[in-house]
């Protein structure tokens, strides 16, 4: 397998008039040998363009890409020793599953016994033994995607590239195929770079996640590091479902304590005394605007908390209650801000009902509203 190093990578699409559109803006990223790296972000953030430049399918406007210590900027895709799995399967409809998986090896003039051995190894790994003589039209979407993955496996490349391979599958099939790809990585110990817009896929599959926005990297870290210590508001809001709640306000001093006071033109808003750790991070922003962030699972209705801190409790209005089975999402309103709480599935709430919720500030965050970076 191989280490992939991206340095100052730029991709600009020229226009007849104007400077052109820069889709990737000088990013730097190192994917370690045998690592499963996920590139995640909204549509148009540059993640697929980056993957296609690694594959050699897009011309590089600036910077370098190295695979296994060799700069591959001017190397043809077929000579980069990579294998790519596309979103739309890209199978030959007139060929059987066996022929689709073997085709790349035949083009490279591999001996027939070795081709057969590799195809059957991959087929056993992916549970495709019963489908080798079928053609793609006789397969389900998940089975077709497994064939596409098998075609990549038989190549035994240095790097596997996945470009949103699950986006055409239904929800249940996405979960099972996601698990299969994770198992495959554990079995092969391969270097894998996986592009998705789905943060659930990113969180469950990646050794590390690279979060992108507008052609730039926002943060690269392990999944739980991203979740618990986001570098900025974009990462905090993008990673996690439902997303983090944000409240605009100021930090005010009350004796020895720092208090977050929500901006609320309609009257009294949230007033939450900060923990010592949070107060240390916000000490330089006293009497300045801040954004207070907290995840839905850290907002509790007071019924579920044995000894709710009255200073960190507020009465809010229920907008919508969404029973999810294992939990209930409560959409709440402070009068200035709408936010979400995750509560017990057994509790029942009605629209416009007043409820008291308590905030677990041990897991709260503060952000600079000007730069959106974490304090």
- 295-312: pLDDT as tens digits: 999 998 876 665 667 888
Q: Quick check: is 72 in a domain?
A: yes
The tokens of 293 are what? 């962030």
Q: Quick check: is 372 in a domain?
A: no
pLDDT at position 303: 66
Same domain, 163 and 254: no
Q: Quick check: is 275 in a domain?
A: yes
Cβ-Cβ contacts under 8 Å for 228 (sequence gap 6 or more): 363
Position with higher pLDDT, 214 vs 356: 214
pLDDT at position 347: 80
Residue of 235, 273, 247 whose CA lies nearest to 339: 247
| Last-in-domain residue among 196, 220, 238 | 238
pLDDT digits (tens, 9 = 90+) for 105-117: 999 899 999 999 9
Q: Quick check: is 373 in a domain?
A: no
**What residues form DSSP beta bridges with 333?**
317, 338
Same domain, 195 and 260: no
Same domain, 233 and 192: yes
Total domain count for the chain?
A: 2
331: containing domain: 245-367
Residue of 136, 96, 102, 106 whose CA lies nearest to 121: 102
CA 187, 189, 192, 198 torsion: positive or negative?
A: positive
Q: What is the CATH number of the domain that holds 333?
A: 2.40.50.140
Q: What is the CATH number of the domain that holds 132?
A: 3.40.50.300
Same domain, 209 and 270: no
Q: Quick check: is 374 in a domain?
A: no
The tokens of 265 are what? 């033109």
Same domain, 253 and 233: no
1-10, 216-225, 325-334 — most confident range = 216-225
143-152, 169-178, 214-223, 341-350 — most confident range = 214-223
| Last-in-domain residue among 238, 259, 290 | 238
Same domain, 254 and 225: no
Same domain, 131 and 266: no
Same domain, 207 and 117: yes
Residue range 205-220: average pLDDT?
96
Same domain, 167 and 41: yes
| Last-in-domain residue among 220, 238, 256 | 238
pLDDT band at 38 (very low <50, low <70, confident <90, very high): very high
CA 72, 77, 80, 82 torsion: positive or negative?
A: positive
The average confidence (pLDDT) of the chain is 91
CA distance 352 to 355: 9
224-228, 267-271, 310-314 — most confident range = 224-228
Q: What is the pTM of this model?
A: 0.91
The tokens of 16 are what? 């007849």
């Amino acid at each position: 397998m191989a280490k992939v190093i991206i340095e100052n990578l730029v991709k600009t699409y020229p226009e007849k008039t104007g400077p052109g559109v820069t889709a990737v803006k000088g990013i730097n990223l190192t994917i370690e040998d045998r690592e499963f790296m996920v590139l995640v972000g909204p549509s148009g953030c540059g993640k697929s363009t980056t993957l296609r430049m690694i594959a050699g399918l897009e011309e590089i406007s600036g910077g370098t890409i190295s695979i296994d210590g060799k700069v591959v900027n001017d190397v043809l895709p077929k000579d980069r020793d990579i294998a790519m799995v596309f979103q739309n399967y890209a199978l030959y409809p007139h060929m059987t599953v066996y022929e689709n998986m073997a085709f790349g090896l035949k083009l490279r003039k591999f001996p027939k016994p070795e081709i057969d051995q590799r195809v059957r190894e991959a087929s056993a790994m992916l549970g495709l033994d019963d489908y080798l003589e079928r053609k793609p039209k006789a397969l389900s979407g998940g089975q077709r995607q497994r064939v596409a993955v098998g075609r990549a496996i038989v190549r035994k490349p240095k790097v596997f590239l996945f470009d949103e391979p699950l986006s055409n599958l239904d929800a249940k099939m996405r979960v099972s195929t996601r698990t299969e790809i994770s198992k495959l990585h554990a079995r092969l110990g391969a270097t894998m770079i996986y592009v998705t817009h789905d943060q659930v896929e990113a969180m469950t599959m990646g050794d590390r996640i690279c979060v992108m926005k507008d052609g730039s990297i926002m943060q690269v870290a392990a999944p739980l590091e991203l979740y618990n210590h986001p570098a900025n508001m974009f990462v905090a809001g993008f990673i996690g479902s439902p997303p983090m709640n944000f409240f605009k306000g100021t930090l005010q001093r009350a004796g020895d304590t720092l208090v977050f006071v929500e901006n609320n033109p309609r009257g009294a808003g949230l007033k939450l005394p900060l923990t010592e750790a949070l107060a240390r991070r916000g000490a330089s922003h006293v009497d300045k605007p801040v954004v207070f962030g907290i995840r839905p699972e850290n907002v509790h209705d007071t019924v579920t908390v044995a000894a709710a801190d009255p200073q960190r409790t507020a009465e809010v209005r229920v907008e919508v209650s969404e029973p999810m089975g294992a939990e209930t999402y409560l959409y709440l309103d402070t009068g200035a801000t709408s936010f979400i709480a995750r509560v017990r599935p057994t509790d029942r709430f009605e629209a416009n009902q007043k409820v008291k919720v308590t905030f677990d500030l041990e897991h709260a965050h503060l952000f600079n509203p000007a730069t959106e970076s974490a304090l």
